[in-house]
Structure formats: structure tokens, C-alpha cells
Amino acid sequence: MDAVIKSYLPWFAALISAAVMVAARLVANGVVAARREDILVDGSTTGAVPRWISATYLAGSVGIFISFVWSFSISWWAPVVAVLLYLVTALVPSRIVAVTRELGGGPYKKCTRCAAVRPIDYFALDKSAADGHSALCVACADPATWARVQQLKADFTKR
Ligand SMILES: [Zn+2]
């Protein structure tokens, strides 16, 4: 192998590790976006992302850490490159974090008529239901009131 490439190998390893992390995060984001409503209804992100994607992401972060330590063989300041690459991967937002934040506003329920996933407060109290809430969301159970509320909201934001 070319001597120059060989001496900068830790940087190449860091670059590849960072690319693996970004790729894994993008794939995970796609999965979470597709499953967002199911995750909200389940109330948990556990198992939302296939294990191999999480494993790939973890492998990338381990790789970047190894590259960081290994970079000291280039020079004392060379590990800075691995740190910078790691920071670049953090620029790709994690959808799992966003959905976890949304879960804080839960629990959520899926309406049996319109299939919308809404916070449980959008379902009227119903003692006969297993979870104590109506199967229909307010929009379906009381369309007239729902329309009125949406109108008031629209008027308020216009002002
Ligand atoms: Zn509904």
C-alpha cells in the first residue's frame, strides 16, 4: 500500500465509520417515519428499529472511537479529525428522539373510524370501554363541535 495512504489510515477508518453511522441513522429514520403512528399507539420505541440497524450504528461509533485512539499514531492533534467527524454525524437528526419527545405527550389512541392517531384526551370518557375512552375521536364523535373548534383556531391564528 502507498506509504501516504498507510500513514493516514486512522483518518480513513474514521471517515468510513462516520459514513456508516450516518447511513444507519438515515435508514433508522426511514423506518421510524413509516412506523410513527404504531410507535405512538404502542407508547414505546422499544423494537421500533430492527436490531441490525442499531448494531450497524453501534459498530460505526465503536469504529470512530478506535480511529480516535489510533489517530495518535499520526500526530498528537490528529484525533481531532475523528472528533470532528463524530460531530458531523450528530448533525443528522434522529427521528427516534423526536418520536420519544412526542410520546411524552401521550398516551395516544387510534380512532376506529378515521384511523387518526391522537392523544387520548381527544377521545371522550367512556366507562364501558376497556381503556375508559370512546373508540371514536372527538372529530368523529361530534363533527359539529370539532368543526367549530377548528374554525376558532383558524380565526385565532389569523389575528
Ligand atoms: Zn376519528
Cα–ligand 1 centroid distance for 105 (angstroms): 19
Q: Residues 94-139: pLDDT tens digits?
A: 999 999 999 998 899 999 999 999 999 999 999 999 999 999 999 9
Residues in the chain: 159
Cα–ligand 1 centroid distance for 132 (angstroms): 16
Cα–ligand 1 centroid distance for 99 (angstroms): 21
Cα–ligand 1 centroid distance for 110 (angstroms): 8
User: In the structure, what pLDDT confidence band is assigned to residue 1 with cuts at 50, 70 and 90?
Assistant: low
Other CB atoms within 10 Å distance of the CB of residue 54: 14
Other CB atoms within 10 Å distance of the CB of residue 64: 22
Cα–ligand 1 centroid distance for 145 (angstroms): 13
Angle (nearest 5°) at CA 69 between 65 and 71: 110
Provide the residue ranges of all domains of the chain, joining segments of one domain with +: 1-106, 109-159
Q: Residues 40-76: pLDDT tens digits?
A: 999 999 989 999 999 999 999 999 999 999 999 999 9
Cα–ligand 1 centroid distance for 140 (angstroms): 4
Note the pLDDT of residue 106: 81
Q: How far apart are CA 84 and CA 62, in angstroms?
A: 15
